[in-house]
């Protein structure tokens, strides 16, 4: 197959041969530069070990590829191999919350580790967009799809999703056999309450959300478990409810102050941010007059309140990474329940040791 | 080519024929169901108008495709057509800022409108990841690449990016001929200052960032332009600097209070959030004792401060959308400068009318 000689590898020649932008190097150009057939280049590119090509010829082809800056067509490769190296990720709120970004980050790192690229679609909760996104992914023959939601919730499984291998991320289905990965809300609620218990607090209020959600149930369950483990009887008066944002936290302040507590655990950081303002308006300081713990470790807020807020972190990065591992069969997925991921504690300075009464 | 008859289109048959998950319908199955050759199915799928196929046969193939739920292989189609329907988007901070999500949202909406899917890579500023991401996109033969940064800044052009058709989004290069789209910082600064002027304020401080950036220069320029247009001489004493986060805004408060101003425009919303706390600690209320305007319209913060913050919005959605239009040649891209996108005003209640002194 060797028909002509060509020197290669000199930097000057390489620079001279580099393609102009917008004119990708073709297989044919590589073949001409290496003095071989396009079939030979193809065999070298696809790493067919059993093809009878001499070491010298392989080297000449590889040098030509390097000099010319040839990039094999990944889509042609996946057609040959019969499956693509894409994993699809459907997200419902990339643009409106900071949480989806962490799921993407974790999923991408894990996907790349195993040689897959992420094909991401942002639906902003629009059903038609979602349908189009899943169709597109199926047409690109993705290895599978991660279907994710920005807040932890039960979900219907879209019909078209069933055509793919899929894992639910930050959401779950009651259908048996559905793989899903979600945050461990109860453990998170327990950890949040334990921060306060560890600092000597005994009368601890919990301001839960008004909106039904797995987080509402789980975070309350964790609060109860932590109190019970510490031998403190549950006082139902200390469990309050508010809308889970800054305004809700602010407006809950007067009710909270009637409860005679030294500490409060808020359903989320946004609520804690509003409560900070409410307590200040009542002339109270954190942590001296009231210890405050949040939930979410929300970017932009938690670390920058005055004082910085102790909280537990939602494990979005880990949810994305675990979703990819489950999809690729690298991590076991129980068939009857969602896998729960730990919510780690992040301690700052909104809690201090409480002197015994 | 017609060899056998087959009824199709009845819902019952369609349901019966729907594929099990994990077993995608093949071209051959469509051909068998329609009683035609695979070549005929392929011609119909690829919409070859000039192929001599009867209307009845076309209909039969289309019905079989619908009944079986066949999805053509998009990658095979792009190989045939010679270019892919992907646009790459490289983002440096999907996980750590809420801004990248808006760029993605705008780019995706615009890409889909023109029949392209987005291939997104999150690099979190890691050079090796960025190189890998661009290589991957080139191997998938993307139509072009949007190279985006989470804050507006000058950028080097990565070598591998030059192999693609590309547009810089939220960043720019001094190299002539580089297409780029960025926010109009000067207009944004002018708009922020004009909110205060329109409410009767005359002594307006500007707390700029300590960190050099196009935003720092542009937002100051806008402040100066607005004052000049209003016939107010610039008092250099009223231009201060602080670190652009909550802590910076808080710590700037005592200096601000020495300036005898009725209003302040902050470099960003995070700084304004810290200033809110600082003013409160001095017993001052917003907007009665001090009018405050921010910049960024930062999700989670701006609308939820007490009082809600008047600000100008960074046009991330529009940056992403305009980037796609420029890449596809649908919007003119001047060769000697970046296209500037308007930063819209968002008025809330942190400013009120100032009685004349």
- CA angle in degrees (0–180, nearest 5) for A84-A86-A88: 130
For residue range B265-299, list pLDDT tens digits in order: 999 999 999 999 999 999 999 999 999 999 999 98
Residue B211 — pLDDT band, cuts 50, 70, 90?
very high
Report the residue from B129, B135, B304 with minimal CB separation from A245: B304
Give the burial class of A177: count Cβ atoms within 10 A of its Cβ; 0-12 exposed, 13-18 middle, 19 or more buried.
Answer: exposed
Kindly determine whether residue B98 and residue A317, on different chains, have CB atoms separated by under 8 Å.
Answer: no
| Homologous superfamily of the B185-313 domain (CATH) | Response regulator (3.40.50.2300)
Mutate to test the interface with A, among B66, B76, B81, B108 (most CBs of A within 10 A): B108
Report the residue from B74, B246, B317 with minimal CB separation from A140: B74
pLDDT for the residue B20: 40
Secondary structure element (H or E) that encloses residue B68, with its range: helix B55-68
Cis peptide before A287 (omega within 30 of 0): yes
More confident residue, B38 or A13: B38
- Tell me the average pLDDT across B187-214: 98
CB A4 within 8 A of CB A36: no
What's the CATH architecture for A83-183+317-341? Answer: 3-Layer(aba) Sandwich (3.40)
Sign (positive or negative) of CA dihedral B216, B221, B224, B229: negative
Q: Residue A273: list chain B partners with CB under 8 A.
A: 304
Among all residues of chain A, which has the CA nearest to that of B276? Answer: A277
A19 in contact with chain B, both atoms CB, cutoff 8 A? yes
pLDDT for the residue B354: 87
Report the residue from A105, A117, A246 with minimal CB separation from B94: A105
User: How close A184 gets to chain B, by Cα (Å)?
Assistant: 21
Residues of chain A with CATH 1.10.260.40: 11-72
Domain B11-72 has CATH 3.40.1260.10: no
Among all residues of chain B, which has the CA nearest to that of A100? Answer: B95
The Cα B151–Cα B215 span in angstroms is 9
**E-assigned strands of B139-185?**
144-154, 166-172, 180-183
Report the residue from B24, B95, B108 with minimal CB separation from A102: B95
pLDDT for the residue A96: 77
Mutate to test the interface with B, among A89, A93, A140, A177 (most CBs of B within 10 A): A140
* pLDDT, chain B, mean: 88
Kindly determine whether residue B140 and residue A24, on different chains, have CB atoms separated by under 8 Å.
Answer: no
Residues of chain A with CATH 3.40.50.2300: 83-183+317-341, 185-313
- Cβ neighbours around A223 below 10 Å, total: 25
Q: Residue A317: list chain B partners with CB under 8 A.
A: 95
CB A265 within 8 A of CB A329: no
**Could you tell me the pTM of the whole model?**
0.82
Which of the 8 DSSP states describes residue A162?
G
In this structure, what are the phi and psi dihedrals at residue B33, rounded to the nearest 5 degrees?
-65, -35
Among all residues of chain A, which has the CA nearest to that of B135? Answer: A71
Residue B6 — pLDDT band, cuts 50, 70, 90?
very low
Residues of chain B with CATH 3.40.50.2300: 82-183+317-341, 185-313
The Cα B218–Cα B185 span in angstroms is 5
Among all residues of chain B, which has the CA nearest to that of A21? Answer: B163
For residue range B219-255, list pLDDT tens digits in order: 999 999 999 999 999 999 999 999 999 999 999 999 9
Mutate to test the interface with B, among A70, A117, A151, A178 (most CBs of B within 10 A): A117
pLDDT for the residue A292: 98
pLDDT for the residue B2: 35
pLDDT for the residue B49: 67
pLDDT for the residue B76: 64
Nearest Cα to A312, choosing from A148, A193, A230, A170?
A193
Kindly determine whether residue B117 and residue A121, on different chains, have CB atoms separated by under 8 Å.
Answer: yes
More confident residue, A70 or B59: B59
Kindly determine whether residue B304 and residue A164, on different chains, have CB atoms separated by under 8 Å.
Answer: no
pLDDT for the residue A37: 86
B301 in contact with chain A, both atoms CB, cutoff 8 A? yes
Report the residue from A22, A69, A100 with minimal CB separation from B101: A100
A246 in contact with chain B, both atoms CB, cutoff 8 A? yes
Nearest Cα to B206, choosing from B195, B193, B225, B217?
B193
B contact residues 37-56, partner A, Cβ 8 Å cutoff: none
- Tell me the average pLDDT across B85-107: 88
B contact residues 103-162, partner A, Cβ 8 Å cutoff: 104-105, 108, 112, 117-122, 124, 129, 132, 135-136, 138-141, 162
User: How close B1 gets to chain A, by Cα (Å)?
Assistant: 27
List CB contacts of A113: < 8 A, sequence separation 6 or more: none
Where chain A has pLDDT below 50, the residues are 1-22
- Tell me the average pLDDT across B153-160: 94
CB A278 within 8 A of CB A241: no
Mutate to test the interface with A, among B95, B126, B141, B158 (most CBs of A within 10 A): B95
What is the three-class DSSP state of A119?
A: strand
The Cα A155–Cα B191 span in angstroms is 43
User: How close A110 gets to chain B, by Cα (Å)?
Assistant: 12
CATH code: domain B82-183+317-341 is: 3.40.50.2300
pLDDT for the residue A120: 87
């Amino acid at each position: 197959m060797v028909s002509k000689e060509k020197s290669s590898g000199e930097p000057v020649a390489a620079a001279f041969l580099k393609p102009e932008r917008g004119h990708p190097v073709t297989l044919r150009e590589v073949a001409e530069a290496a003095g071989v057939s396009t079939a030979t280049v193809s065999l070298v590119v696809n790493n067919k070990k059993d093809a009878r090509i001499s070491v010298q010829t392989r080297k000449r082809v590889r040098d030509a590829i390097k000099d010319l800056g040839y990039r094999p067509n990944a889509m042609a490769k996946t057609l040959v191999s019969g499956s693509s190296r894409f994993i699809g990720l459907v997200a419902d709120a990339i643009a409106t919350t900071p949480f989806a970004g962490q799921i993407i980050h974790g999923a991408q790192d894990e996907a790349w580790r195993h040689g897959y690229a992420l094909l991401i679609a942002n639906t902003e909760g629009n059903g038609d967009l979602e349908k189009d996104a899943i169709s597109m992914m199926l047409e690109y023959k993705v290895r599978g799809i991660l279907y994710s939601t920005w807040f932890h919730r039960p979900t219907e499984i879209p019909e078209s999703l069933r055509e793919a291998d899929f894992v639910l991320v930050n959401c779950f289905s009651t259908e048996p056999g559905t793989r899903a990965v979600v945050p461990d809300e109860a453990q998170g609620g327990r950890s949040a309450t334990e921060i306060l218990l560890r600092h000597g607090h005994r009368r601890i209020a919990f301001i839960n959300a008004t909106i039904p959600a797995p987080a509402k149930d789980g975070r309350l369950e964790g609060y109860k478990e932590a109190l019970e483990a510490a031998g403190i009887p549950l006082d139902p008066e200390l469990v309050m409810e508010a809308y889970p944002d800054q305004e809700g936290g602010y407006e809950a302040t007067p009710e909270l102050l009637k409860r005679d507590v030294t500490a409060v655990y808020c359903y989320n950081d946004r609520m804690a941010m509003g409560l900070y303002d409410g307590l200040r308006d009542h002339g109270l300081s954190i942590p001296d007059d009231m210890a405050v713990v949040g939930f979410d470790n929300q970017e932009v807020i938690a670390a920058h309140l005055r004082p910085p807020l102790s909280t537990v972190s939602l494990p979005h990065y880990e949810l994305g990474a675990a979703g990819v591992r489950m999809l690729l069969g690298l991590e076991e997925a129980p068939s009857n329940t969602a896998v729960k991921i730990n919510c780690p504690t992040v301690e700052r300075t909104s809690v201090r040791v409480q002197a015994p009464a």
